Amino acid sequence: MPQPVTYRGMSLIVPDNDSEWKDYYAHARQHRLMLRACKACGLMRYPAMHACPWCMDLGWTWKEVSGRGTIYSYETVVHAIQPGFKDATPYAVVLVELDEQRGKPTADEALRIIGNLVKPDAVTFEDTKEVAIGRRARVVFQDLGESMALPQFTLSDEPPQGRVWRLPE
Amino acid sequence: MAMKTLKDKYCIVGVGETEYSRGSGRTTRALAVEAMRKAILDAGLRASDVDGVLDYQGGDSTFANHVAPDLGIRLNFYMDVMGGGSSTEALVGLAMGAIEAGMCNTVAIYRSMNGYSEFRIGGTGARAAQPVRGMDLAQVPFGMRSAGQTFAFTFMRHMYEYGTTSEQVAHVKVAHSKHASNNPKAIQKERVTVQDVVGSRWIVKPLHLLDCCLETDNATCIIVTSAERARDLKQRPVHIMGVAGRVSKPRVDYHWVHGPISRVAGYYAKDIVFGQAGIGPEDVDVTGSYDAFTFTTMLQLEEYGFCKKGEGGAYVSSGIIELGGKRPNNTSGGHLCEGYTHGMSMVIENVRQLRGTVDDTCPGAAEGKHSYDYSVGKCRQVRDAEITMNLGWAMPATGSALIMRR
């Protein structure tokens, strides 16, 4: 089993038999965002589960995506409960809807991934005044040791998609 | 496909709870024993009349086969279920099923927790330091672990899509604080204003401190038996018209994957529970919409059709949900003010509303004599309450519901 990675006081564990996450994080360490795609119907899914939720087929391949998308929702943590995040508050967590497969197979579906909103260096948390639904973001990878990297999101300079909104404060 | 109904064939005949405190100084076993004993006595039953026990927990409580023998109950059926909010209503349905199957006759359902002094539901303390593996890898490394943190995407997206405001949703806390001021059991009895809520410190935007419930030590218990058996018991029986348990959206574990995330499980549960009961939202006199957060009450009320989808903010700020309004919600003060029980206290409150014996400060409350004066420190009985509805919440993707009548 690979050694656990320590990050912000947490021990992140991805053992060799973690058939959901091991390859996903190994790809992330190569700075590639790879999702499982169904061999039967071709639809991708996230997280990397073992059956296709659309056709129940068990066959899959890894498919690389651009990592570009739009912020679908967000939150700003002001009171951290995890000790390792206390010195990082306030920080933004974003739910990014990837460009690939938006509105498929139904209008309400999309590939949605969680990350922190970070600066382009992938490490420094972005000013929370910058976060808003509708703003464009792209994936960046925060290396954690030799075997793992966290996919994070940073704002891109593309024009926003649809209405831009953030909580009035 | 239409589902079967057992409308009016089962009743809740006994209710009981311990003190709501922030430091019980006792084990969850001691708390559960006290709550179950009170519920049995409330029903006018003896220990030997109870032969089934169900409970729910998250690795933070005692077990049915420990509690029952402490009270001299010999079990024909018991089960410990994993889970928190939304379990009460689901277990009422399972109790009915166990009795219907001939496995037992009378079932006590309890939840016991030192939710403040031992296992903090908010995820702080020991839980915050646990290793991160498996499905937690999708969110915990990003500083997203507590209930408020995992639900906030849903709340924020609702504000974006429908223009819901912090001030509108704050009215849930305002209403529940009004109710709690007339509840001697409540931990927080002070009435608060909208300005108090939106002026309280941020926890995780869009949640302020006063948008969040009160972690509490307590145990609660209800007793389910057949309507036939209920006729001979001490209390006016409260009939179960419909029940839906842990109805879920297509994805539960990673609930934020499936859109629209501003939709909650009531979208699917409402047809089941209203279908069984043969009534609609307009027929309900009192609601008990789970208030882990102000937003959860609002989201469920609109999803179950008490107002149109997207109009929950207007609904909860209209005065309808306050005592004296058309359809009060959580007349005990709920999780925001009375104390956090994972939902069972809201069912207990509605049972008492239907009996007409809510435990306020009216001198004749136990005999059903109330002043209906809802000013501070007075009455919280709803006049002639005939039908109540509980809306249980586990998370945006899972919920339960229970419709009862007197």
Which top CATH class is A9-155? mainly beta
Look up tokens 């009862």; give the residue.
B404
The sign of the CA dihedral B289, B292, B293, B294 is positive
| DSSP code of residue B284 | -
> Which of A6-15, A129-138, B332-341, B368-377 shows the lowest mean pLDDT across its residues?
A6-15
CA angle B173, B176, B177 (to 5 degrees): 80
* Cα B130 → chain centroid: 28
| Nearest chain A Cα distance for residue B154, angstroms | 8
**Residue B131's pLDDT is what?**
86
Residue A143 touches chain B, beta carbons under 8 Å: no
HSE, side-chain direction, 13 A CA sphere, residue B82: 1
Interchain proximity B124–A81, CB inside 8 Å:
yes
What the block records as the tokens of B278 is 């043969």
Read off the pLDDT band of B391 (50, 70, 90). very high
Interchain proximity A73–B133, CB inside 8 Å:
no
What's chain A's Rg over C-alpha atoms?
A: 17
Read off the pLDDT band of B224 (50, 70, 90). very high
| Nearest chain A Cα distance for residue B213, angstroms | 15
Residue B256 touches chain A, beta carbons under 8 Å: yes
B115-174 confidence digits (pLDDT tens): 999 988 776 666 666 789 999 999 999 999 999 999 999 999 999 999 999 999 999 999
| DSSP code of residue B213 | -
Taking CA atoms, A152 is separated from A6, B24, B35, B235, B272, in Å, by 17, 43, 48, 58, 41
Q: Which residues of A touch B123 (CB under 8 A)?
A: 81
Residue B115 touches chain A, beta carbons under 8 Å: no
Residue A81 touches chain B, beta carbons under 8 Å: yes
- Section B319-343 average pLDDT: 98
* Cα B387 → chain centroid: 16
- Section B62-67 average pLDDT: 97
Q: Which residues of B touch A91 (CB under 8 A)?
A: 143
Q: Which residues of B touch A77 (CB under 8 A)?
A: 143-144, 149, 204
Check if B315 is active-site.
Answer: no
Average pLDDT, chain A: 95
Q: Does A160 have pLDDT greater than 60? A: yes
Spatial CA neighbour of B22 closest among B218, B292, B216, B185 = B216
Spatial CA neighbour of B390 closest among B220, B232, B171 = B220
**Residue B293's pLDDT is what?**
98
A95-150 confidence digits (pLDDT tens): 999 999 999 999 999 999 999 999 999 999 999 999 999 999 999 999 998 889 99
Interchain proximity B259–A110, CB inside 8 Å:
yes
CA distance linking residue A110 with residue A108, whole number of Å: 7
Interchain proximity B152–A75, CB inside 8 Å:
yes
Concatenated DSSP letters for chain A?
-PPPEEETTEEE---TT-TTTHHHHHHHHTT--EEEEETTT--EESS--SS-TTT----EEEEE---EEEEEEEEEESS--SGGGGGG-SEEEEEEEESTTTT-SSTT---EEEEEBB-TTSSSBPPGGG--BT-EEEEEEEEETTTEEEEEEEE-SSPP-S--B----
Residue A108 touches chain B, beta carbons under 8 Å: yes
Q: Does A1 have pLDDT greater than 60? A: no
* Cα A96 → chain centroid: 7
Nearest CA in chain B to A11: B131
Q: Which residues of B touch A73 (CB under 8 A)?
A: 153-154, 156-157, 160, 256, 261
Check if B340 is active-site.
Answer: yes
Which member of B20, B116, B290, B315 is catalytic?
Answer: B290
The maximal CA–CA distance of chain A, rounded, in angstroms, is 48
pTM above 0.90, yes or no: yes
Interchain proximity B145–A81, CB inside 8 Å:
yes
CA distance linking residue B309 with residue B279, whole number of Å: 19
Residues 6+ apart with CB under 8 A from A87: none
Residue B19, strand partner residues? none
Residues 6+ apart with CB under 8 A from B308: B302
**Residue B4's pLDDT is what?**
86
Taking CA atoms, B116 is separated from B52, B176, B180, in Å, by 29, 20, 19
| DSSP code of residue B186 | -
Concatenated DSSP letters for B48-100?
GG--EEEEEESSSS--HHHHHHHTTPPPSEEEEEE--TTHHHHHHHHHHHHHH
Interchain proximity A74–B134, CB inside 8 Å:
no
Q: Which residues of A touch B206 (CB under 8 A)?
A: 75, 167
Map out the domains of chain B with their CATH numbers. 10-118+215-361+368-405 (3.40.47.10)
Taking CA atoms, B261 is separated from A61, A74, A97, B246, in Å, by 28, 12, 12, 17
CA distance linking residue B312 with residue B156, whole number of Å: 14
Q: Which residues of A touch B256 (CB under 8 A)?
A: 73, 95, 112, 114
- Section A18-37 average pLDDT: 96
Residue B154 touches chain A, beta carbons under 8 Å: yes
**Residue B1's pLDDT is what?**
60
B87-112 confidence digits (pLDDT tens): 999 999 999 999 999 999 999 999 99
Interchain proximity A76–B153, CB inside 8 Å:
no
CA distance linking residue B285 with residue B351, whole number of Å: 13
Interchain proximity A12–B137, CB inside 8 Å:
yes
> Which of B35-49, B122-136, B174-188, B213-227 shows the lowest mean pLDDT across its residues?
B122-136
